[in-house]
Amino acid sequence: MEESIHSFKVEGISGEEIDFAAFEGKKILIVNVASACGYTPQYQQLQELYSAFQDKLVVIGFPSNDFGGQEPGTNEEIQAFCTSRFGVHFPMTTKVSIKGKPHPIYVWLTQKSQNKVADAEVRWNFHKFLIDEKGRWVNHFPSSVSPLDEQILDWVQS
């Protein structure tokens, strides 16, 4: 498997293709999201981060219903909720699986054998993965860490 995330393509929430090769040269923050979670207000912080740094950072939301059934909606419902409630305009994918038979990008994110850096377990919604400008896995943070946490801000600005 590639050490870079840039070899991946995923389906966007509106049916468009999201090609990670297009993000070469930018940092990437990947987060699994859900509309009915205690951490759902992080959508606003993710959007603030994206708006402030979109010249050097892309935030990509991966909706998933794997944790507590907190994302039961259709792709259209998820998109409408995120846009109307939090003004989200960072890229979002179609709903994916993270547990059981995970989406290939989550296999790469969570298995050292794939990303060549570390194993990581996604335990809940809003788990964050940091990817550098060359598409390499850098770090990950659990749901409880805000997208605007000093560690993430320092990394984005470095």
Q: pLDDT for 113-130, tens place per residue?
A: 999 999 999 999 999 999
DSSP 8-state class, residue 20: G
- Quote the pLDDT of residue 3: 78
Find out whether 130 and 152 touch, Cβ atoms under 8 Å. Answer: yes
Mention every residue, 6+ apart, whose C-beta is less than 8 A from residue 108: 1, 2, 5, 8, 114, 115, 137
Identified catalytic residue from 37, 98, 130, 152: 37
Domain that holds residue 16: 5-157
Q: How many whole angstroms separate alpha carbon 50 and alpha carbon 57?
A: 7
Token readout for 98 is: 């993270």
Q: Specify the residue for token string 């951490």.
A: 39
Q: pLDDT for 46-82, tens place per residue?
A: 999 999 999 999 999 999 999 999 999 999 999 999 9
% of residues, the chain, pLDDT over 90: 98
Query: Which residues partner with 61 through β-bridges?
Result: 31, 92
| Domain count along the chain | 1
pLDDT at 1 over 60: no
pLDDT bin (cut points 50, 70, 90) of residue 2 is: low
pTM of the model: 0.97
Residue 82 annotated to the active site: no
Average of per-residue pLDDT values in the chain: 96
What CATH number did the domain enclosing 88 receive?
3.40.30.10
Token readout for 35 is: 């509309």
Query: What is the rounded average pLDDT of the residues 38-53?
Result: 98
